[in-house]
């Protein structure tokens, strides 16, 4: 018997048992829905982190820390000859000037910049209130979204990039109004005695106002100044303190992406911890992959349940149709073709379930995407990405799973003795 005829007959007999077919395939649809969505979330998540990392890092750059002591459990022992710090966010050894100089000497290193985060006292403007602020160094490799003004290349030492929140706070009419205006940052020297405060005012001109971006990596409230201004403020505040010139993290700029990998190997040999942009991405993606794996697990569980559904439905179908099977065999239909008829019915059920489930997932995902983006405040980035190839793969996979589930009932049908089936008077 030709496959085409069998496919058509299989489809027709399912159509005649409509509600049973639909109910069985709905079980598969649940699995297909979950799997399609989790694949979309995984793809979306990876693409999102990819965008974040590439918008905030440079492939030529490395992020370097001191390596924690190897193979040691529990807290680190104190030792007078290493410099360390312990905060809520960071615990371990710090990089010293000597380390930075050593790194600078490595072949292919263009520059070594420690992360200066000067703890300023406040930011203000003539006749306005005083506000706390966190300051970071501007990096041209980090993509920013500007609400007003813009920075091409590097920031000049007297320029600052404000965030939108500071615009009304500092008394500007709107974002555009702030551009070109003066603001002041006031710093305290930490080593000065309490009785004799020493403060210094650093004046800046507003170069640009950054707005919230779905791709922003760093804390949204950081105001940006040039690397040397950040350093100048850091020096003024921290000079003479115990932790002066010790840093948790430094970024190392190299001449090329390839060089960055080579420098990373050298740094690791020297006992540092170094991460390229790809490493950071990899770490985040591992997390996404684990989450996706969990979701896929739920989908697989739903599929597993539906396998028993198919086996059950098909067994019942074989029982109900013993006469029909007997007749077909009496008419000379081969065992193989009888088996195929039932396997193809299972295939139809799987196909239907796959299409319904994936279709609903794509529909629901497409509708939900803008709401998710809004809830997570990530702008117009889509967190669910439906890759046509993986949707098709899900449907094809489910058809195969269904055929496999149909094997046992199909074998029962194929083995059925036509005489027993036809002796029903």
Partner 1 sequence: MIEVKGVTKIYGKKDNEFKALSDVSFTIPDGASVAILGKSGSGKSTLMHVMSGLDKPQTGQVIIDGNDILRLKTKEVDKFRSRKMSFIFQSFFVQGNESCYNNVSLPLEIADVSISRRRVRVEAALKAVELIDKKKSRARDLSGGQKQRLAVARAIVNSPKILFADEPTGNLDSVTGGVIENLLFNYHRKFKVTLILVTHDPELSERCDIQIHIKDGVIDSIKRKKK
Is 416 a binding residue for partner 1 by CB under 8 A? The answer is no
Stretch that binds partner 1, among 76-84, 219-227, 287-295, 326-334 (CB under 8 A): 326-334
Tokens encoding 243: 């932790």
Q: Which of 29, 328, 346, 352 binds partner 1 (CB under 8 A)?
A: 328
Ordered DSSP codes for 313-332: HHHHHHHHTHHHHHHHHHTT
Q: Is 334 in the site for partner 1 (CB under 8 A)?
A: yes
Contact indicator for 166, 133 with CB cutoff of 8 Å? yes
SS3 170: coil
Cα separation, 180 vs 205, in Å, equals 6
What angle (nearest 5°) sits at the alpha carbon of residue 234, between those of residues 53 and 105?
A: 65
Could you say whether residue 391 binds partner 1 (CB under 8 A)? no
* Among candidate residues 401, 393, 411, 408, the one with its CA nearest the CA of residue 347: 401
Q: Does 341 sit near partner 1 (CB under 8 A)?
A: no
How many residues are given for the chain?
425
**Stretch binding partner 1 (CB under 8 A), from 139-147, 193-201, 235-243, 318-326:** 318-326
| Rounded Cα–Cα distance for residues 185 and 199 (Å) | 10
60 part of the interface to partner 1, by CB under 8 A:
no
CB of 15 to partner 1, least distance (A): 9
345 binds partner 1 (CB under 8 A): no
Q: Nearest CA to 253 among 265, 268, 264, 266? A: 264
162 DSSP β-pair partners: 209
Q: How far is the CB of 13 from partner 1 (least distance, A)?
A: 8
**R_g of the chain, CA atoms, integer Å:** 33
List 191, 199, 323, 366, residue binding partner 1 (CB under 8 A):
323
Rounded to the nearest whole angstrom, what is the least distance from the CB of residue 295 to partner 1 in the complex? 40
User: Helices 322-330 and 335-376 meet at what angle, rounded to 10?
Assistant: 130
Nearer to partner 1, 66 or 321 (CB): 321
> By CB under 8 A, is residue 18 in contact with partner 1?
no
Are 161 and 210 spatial neighbours (Cβ–Cβ below 8 Å)? yes
Task: Find the binder of partner 1 among 31, 326, 357, 406 (CB under 8 A).
Answer: 326
Closer residue to partner 1 in complex, CB, 24/285: 24
If the CB atoms of residues 2 and 269 are measured against partner 1, the closer one turns out to be: 2
Residue 335 touching partner 1 (CB under 8 A): yes
**CA–CA gap between residue 58 and residue 176 (Å, rounded):** 29
Please list every residue from 246 through 285 that binds partner 1, using CB under 8 A: none
Give the count of alpha carbons within 13 A of 159, CB side only.
16
Applying CB under 8 A, which part among 106-114, 144-152, 208-216, 334-342 lies near partner 1? 334-342
Check residue 19 for interaction with partner 1 (CB under 8 A): no
Output DSSP code: residue 121.
S
For the chain, how long is the longest CA-to-CA vector?
113
**Residue 389 in contact with partner 1, rule: CB under 8 A:** no
Q: Say how many residues touch partner 1, by CB under 8 A.
A: 26
C-beta of 155 vs 414, nearer to partner 1: 414
Binding site for partner 1 (CB under 8 A): 1-2, 5, 9, 12-13, 16, 323-324, 326-335, 337, 418-419, 422-425
């Amino acid at each position: 018997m030709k496959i085409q005829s069998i496919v058509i007959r299989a489809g027709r007999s399912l159509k005649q048992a409509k509600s049973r077919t639909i109910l069985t395939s709905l079980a598969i649809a649940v699995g297909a829905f979950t799997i399609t969505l989790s694949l979309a979330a995984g793809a979306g998540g990876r693409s999102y982190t990819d965008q974040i990392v590439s918008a905030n890092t440079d492939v030529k750059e490395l992020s370097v820390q001191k390596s924690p002591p190897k193979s040691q459990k529990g807290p680190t022992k104190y030792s007078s000859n290493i410099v360390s710090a312990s905060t809520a966010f960071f615990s371990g050894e710090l990089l010293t000037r000597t380390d930075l100089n050593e790194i600078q000497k490595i072949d292919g290193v263009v520059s070594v910049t420690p992360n200066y985060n000067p703890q300023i006292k406040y930011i203000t403007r003539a006749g306005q209130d005083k506000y706390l602020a966190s300051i970071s160094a501007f990096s041209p490799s980090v993509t920013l979204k500007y609400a007003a003004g813009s920075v091409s290349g590097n920031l000049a030492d007297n320029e600052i990039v404000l965030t939108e929140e500071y615009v009304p706070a500092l008394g500007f009419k709107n974002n555009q109004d702030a551009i070109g205006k003066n603001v002041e940052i006031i710093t305290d020297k930490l080593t000065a005695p309490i009785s004799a405060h020493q403060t210094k005012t650093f004046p800046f001109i507003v170069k640009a106002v950054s707005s919230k971006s779905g791709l922003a990596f760093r804390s949204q409230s950081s105001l940006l100044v040039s690397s040397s201004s950040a350093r100048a403020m850091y020096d003024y505040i921290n000079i003479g303190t115990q932790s002066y010139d010790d840093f948790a993290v430094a970024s190392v700029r190299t001449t090329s992406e390839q060089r960055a990998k080579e420098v990373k190997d050298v740094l690791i040999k020297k006992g540092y911890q170094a991460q390229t942009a790809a490493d950071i991405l990899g770490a985040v993606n591992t997390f996404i992959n684990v989450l996706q794996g969990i979701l896929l697990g739920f989908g697989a569980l739903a599929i597993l349940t539906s396998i028993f559904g198919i086996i059950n439905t098909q067994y019942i179908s074989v029982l109900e149709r013993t006469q029909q099977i007997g007749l077909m065999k009496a008419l000379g239909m081969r065992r193989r073709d009888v088996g195929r008829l039932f396997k193809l019915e299972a295939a139809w059920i799987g196909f239907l379930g796959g299409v319904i489930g994936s279709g609903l997932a794509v529909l629901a995902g497409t509708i939900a995407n803008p709401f998710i983006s809004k809830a997570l405040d990530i702008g117009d980035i889509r967190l669910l990405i439906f890759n046509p190839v993986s949707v098709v793969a899900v449907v094809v996979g489910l058809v195969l799973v269904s055929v496999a589930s149909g094997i046992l009932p199909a074998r029962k049908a194929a083995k059925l003795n036509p005489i027993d089936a036809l002796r029903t008077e």
